[in-house]
Amino acid sequence: MPALASDVLPQGDPALLNRVAWRCRWSSREKSEAYAKAALRTACEAPGETMKVPRGFAYLTLAWQAKWRGEIDASMAYCLDCENCLSEIHHPESRAHGYSILGVLHYSRNRLDLAASAVKRGLGLVNPDEHIEAYIDLLTTRATIQRYKGDSARSGLTLGLARDLATGQELARVEHNIARGMMRDDVVEKGLQHAKTSLELCHKHANRVVLPYAQEVLGACQMALGDFTAAENAFTDGLGIAIEDRDFRAQCQIIQRHAALEHARHDLERARDLNRFGAQIAKEMGYDLWSRDFALALAGVYEDLGDFRKSLDEHKRAWRFEKARRT
């Protein structure tokens, strides 16, 4: 969706604008960003440090939205701006959300060590009884880091704790992550049920952000179970939403799944082209985590095409990403 022009941004008290921006973050990306930008503009017009806190809340919303879209550098910059405006002592919950965002940004670039440290710092700030949303956010991010570190059992336990606490829009996110973990652990039929639950929750509670990711993991489970037509429909629906919302991360992941589908169908040229297209998106994002996956997928496609030189080149590229990973 196109961003609103600066001359039609909402106007009013930055505190109110920030509350609206944060509360609608799952349901309306465009509205959330517009209200955050309006709050930031108004707060920046005030003299001195009088509007430092409203600026911090606006930066947090913008960092959150940029993270989900895959704008890693922009999200990182917004996080740093937020840290400069909001103290951990007076705003522990907001800073905890910020550390969860940083966790995602770091693991997206293969820095699992920094990701784990960020989440640990965030968990040290929150009281689970008072800061429930931030706590669930951090648990979900921690579970993803644990999965990428190879500790699927602990990741499942962490997600189980998050699921017991989450409701509504937050639960849609957690269910989609449970489905993703089960799919990677080859418990595909159970993963499919959690993916369907996530999709239902997205529609019921208007979670537009998670929707394309739920479609992605739903399609991946369907593909693993041999239902290629249903998988393609899920990928098509998810990609349409991701393109409309300018969510490059979701586009990248769905394209990789669709490429795997075409490979399974033995349409090697189509699989090659989709993987190359997705790899370019990942490269532009600096999404090292999935760049490695694209390289491995291309290596397999080129091998089946009989182009062993290119297959070897892609294996080497995948190894460079793997070697750069820090755990």
Share of the chain above pLDDT 90, in %: 90
Positions of the chain with pLDDT lower than 50, given as ranges:
1-7
pLDDT of residue 9: 64
Average pLDDT, the chain: 94
Q: Which amino acid is at 294?
A: F
User: For residue 317, what are the CA distances in angstroms to 218, 273, 285, 289, 322?
Assistant: 29, 17, 17, 12, 9
pLDDT of residue 8: 60
pLDDT of residue 12: 81
pLDDT of residue 11: 77
pTM higher than 0.95: no
pLDDT of residue 257: 97
pLDDT of residue 6: 45
pLDDT of residue 2: 39
Second-level CATH architecture of 247-327: Alpha Horseshoe (1.25)
